């Protein structure tokens, strides 16, 4: 199995490892029912659009994010003001409809288009000013969960150590939804514990 060099993790706050270190505390982790690394004690939070509350030895930390506006979400990496209306529609069509925008006959596919199927630039701008939601990036938002410690450990270990552990991101499909997290090929918990001590990662394993 090829172990990836890195994993994308959405920008959230506060960063779990940094916050645990600042509080000089540690958080207990273990396996969940899918053999993914998880916090032993977690619950949903309410200070962000999406967040998780993780209990540690000295209290709790709420990690989360507010959903970005659609303009920031869909045009990240683009110089928005330099794009023509047609170019904006091409980018949005590819992202929303998963196809190539051809001409105005495709406008009825846009969520802001009126009953007549016409899409104006003003309508588009009003729609882009609104917030995204969970469904817009569900796969990545779902990583901010009780399995967040696994992702933080993965991102804070050098690549050679991740490969030695056989550590990788795993998606598990269940009835009606799927979950993602970090697991290890051979479940080498003792080796992981040694590395967490070596790199001063503020976690310990459930007994």
What pLDDT is attached to residue 90? 93
What pLDDT is attached to residue 1? 46
pTM score of the predicted model? 0.86
Tens of pLDDT along the chain (207 residues) come to 445 556 889 999 999 999 999 999 999 999 999 999 999 999 999 999 999 999 999 999 999 999 999 999 999 888 999 999 999 999 999 998 888 998 888 999 999 998 888 889 999 999 999 999 999 998 899 999 999 999 999 999 999 999 999 999 999 877 767 889 999 986 689 999 999 999 999 999 998
What Rg, from alpha-carbon coordinates, does the chain have? 21
Q: In whole angstroms, give the CA distance from residue 196 to residue 3.
A: 19
What pLDDT is attached to residue 139? 87
Q: Where are the domains of the chain?
A: 16-67+136-205, 70-132
Q: What Å distances lie between residue 204 and 13, 40, 137, 188, 193, CA to CA? A: 22, 10, 31, 14, 7
Q: In whole angstroms, give the CA distance from residue 15 to residue 7.
A: 16
What pLDDT is attached to residue 4? 54
Least Cα distance to 201 among 15, 1, 21 occurs for 21
Spatial neighbors of 33 by CB under 8 A, at least 6 apart, are none
- Contact in structure between 202 and 26 (CB atoms under 8 Å): yes
């Amino acid at each position: 199995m090829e172990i990836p060099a890195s994993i994308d993790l959405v920008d959230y706050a506060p960063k779990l490892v940094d916050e645990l270190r600042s509080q000089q505390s540690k958080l207990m982790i273990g396996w969940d029912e899918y053999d993914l690394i998880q916090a032993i004690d977690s619950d949903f939070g309410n200070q962000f659009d999406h967040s998780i509350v993780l209990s540690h030895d000295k209290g709790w930390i709420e990690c989360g994010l507010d959903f970005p506006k659609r303009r920031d979400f869909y045009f990240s990496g683009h110089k928005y003001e330099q794009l023509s209306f047609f170019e904006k529609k091409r980018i949005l069509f590819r992202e929303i409809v998963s196809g190539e925008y051809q001409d105005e006959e495709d406008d009825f596919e846009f969520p802001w288009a009126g009953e007549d199927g016409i899409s104006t630039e003003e309508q588009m701008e009003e729609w882009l000013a609104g917030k995204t939601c969970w469904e817009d990036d569900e796969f990545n938002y779902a990583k901010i969960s009780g399995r967040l410690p696994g992702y933080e450990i993965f991102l804070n270990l050098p690549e050679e150590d991740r490969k030695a552990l056989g550590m990788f991101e795993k998606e598990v499909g269940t009835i009606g939804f799927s979950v993602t997290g970090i697991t290890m090929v051979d479940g080498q918990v003792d080796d992981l514990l040694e590395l967490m001590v070596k790199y001063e990662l503020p976690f310990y394993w459930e007994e």
